[in-house]
Amino acid sequence: MPTHQQYAQKLVTSQEAMQFLRDGDVIIVPTAAGEPPSLLTALSEQRRAFRGIKIAQILAMRNYPYFDPETVEHVQHVALFFGGASRLCGQAGWGDFIPNYFSEIPLMIERGQITPDVVFSMASPMDEHGYFSLSLGTDYTMAALAKARAIVLEVNPHVPFANGNCTVHISQVTALVESDGPILEVGLPKIGPVQEAIGKHVADMIADGSTLQIGYGGIPDAVVMQLTQKHDLGIHTEMIGDGIMTLLESGAVTNRKKTHMPGKMVATFALGSRMLYAFMHRNPMLEMHPVNFTNDPYIASQNDNLMTINATLQVDLLGQCGSESIGDTPYSGTGGQVDFVRAANRSRGGKSFIVLPSMAKSDTISRIVPVLSPGTHVTTSKNDVNYVVTEFGVAQLRGKSAKQRAQEMIAIAHPDVRSELRQAARQMRLL
């Protein structure tokens, strides 16, 4: 049957699309801007008609009515990484989460450890060959498509048709709904003097011709702003945002010197402004790939001089990073942090930077601590961590002894807390 006829046959309203759900289903929703608002709104409205539905997603951004402690027996969010909308349900305990390395979620799906029954995803309009592009959240969605009983796409004309391994054919799709609202947008964060100082420290250690992975959060973007005067940078990253687009426009990124996929930028999900989404549309320089490709440390490390920049919340004197919880209170998730720290460690000439302001909560709490707060979820281990950067400088930890690490870490803590940290280090026999 011609593809346009298949399209017409499969087109339903978002309310009608709920007929493809069964009690107990796991619905896989892509990362961030790839979440389909019409479908999730319709599910929210009809949630009391179902029992035991779980929504598994990284970085839920919009606060749909299904985020409701009164109706969790009907529909519950099970985060793969908490975002702004899902954080509260994780912290209050009526949501749940599945620990993971982002790169391994597709493998967990293939092996049946996560079992997608249904995929709900944003998609570009269909092309002349019958393909849709899942450019906003390619990530684990491609693996879920191969396993799901039902695939429901929300087709929106503002979703870019990107190149790469991010397409699905109409013949594979169960149902389609259409929407035309703007794609979720986020702006670049405000950069203060602390972020700027961290950005400068990192930029000083990045040579022309390096390949970059830029993590999620305010400071990685601040680093990007310090790199606009560099030359021939390349991009092999997880999230493509406006920061990377700014680097490209400044002429700093050419991708020419990349030793893996030269000439191409690689990413797995997109989150930024409408300019970013327009930039992604049929751009021959960009490829969107599943996360088991972009974040696999062995693949990413084929980029020589891979520089990875990721944020954390708290670091101890050995360099253990608690990037995803504050004590036992979940905040975000592991995401691709460990994937890219390990990739940089393996890359010839690679460097992994873990970045954080020295203090939190209006300069009342040191983020460099003798031991992590009780219950903290350790993200990057002492065995993987290398450069840790605050506004006061750079600690280089890989290959260093426990005692050397304590000295390096104290040197980048806020001057007001250094003597306290020294005292604690002595008690821990680290000095």
Residues annotated as catalytic (active site), given as ranges? 238
Interface characters, 329-348, with ligand COA (x: CB under 6 A): --xx--xxx-----------
Binders in 198-227 for ligand COA, by CB under 6 A: 215-219
- Count of C-beta atoms within a 10 Å radius of residue 298: 10
Our finding on whether 313 is near ligand COA (CB under 6 A) is: yes
Kindly state the smallest distance separating residue 62's Cβ from ligand COA, in Å: 18
The token pair that represents 60 in the structure block: 């839920």
Q: Report the alpha-carbon distance of residue 125 to residue 108 in Å, rounded.
A: 29
Our finding on whether 365 is near ligand COA (CB under 6 A) is: yes
Task: Quote the crossing angle between the two packed helices 218-225 and 242-250, to the nearest 10°.
Answer: 0
Helix, strand counts (H, E) of the chain: 15, 27
Note whether 340 and 323 are within 8 A (CB). Answer: no
Q: Which is nearer to ligand COA, 66 or 82 (CB)?
A: 82
Region of residue 122 (phi > 0: left; psi between -120 and 50: alpha; otherwise: beta): beta
Interface characters, 122-161, with ligand COA (x: CB under 6 A): ----------------------------------------
Instruction: Kindly report the length of the chain.
Output: 431
CA angle 242, 245, 248 (to 5 degrees): 155
Kindly state the smallest distance separating residue 199's Cβ from ligand COA, in Å: 13
Q: Which is nearer to ligand COA, 51 or 346 (CB)?
A: 346
Element (H, E) at 109: helix 105-110
Our finding on whether 312 is near ligand COA (CB under 6 A) is: yes
Kindly state the smallest distance separating residue 317's Cβ from ligand COA, in Å: 14
Kindly state the smallest distance separating residue 61's Cβ from ligand COA, in Å: 14
- Among the listed residues 118, 98, 93, the one whose alpha carbon sits nearest the alpha carbon of residue 108: 98
Our finding on whether 323 is near ligand COA (CB under 6 A) is: yes
Which amino acid would we find at residue 304?
A: D
Kindly state the smallest distance separating residue 295's Cβ from ligand COA, in Å: 8
Binding site for ligand COA (CB under 6 A): 215-219, 238-239, 310-314, 323-324, 326, 331-332, 335-337, 360-361, 365, 367, 379
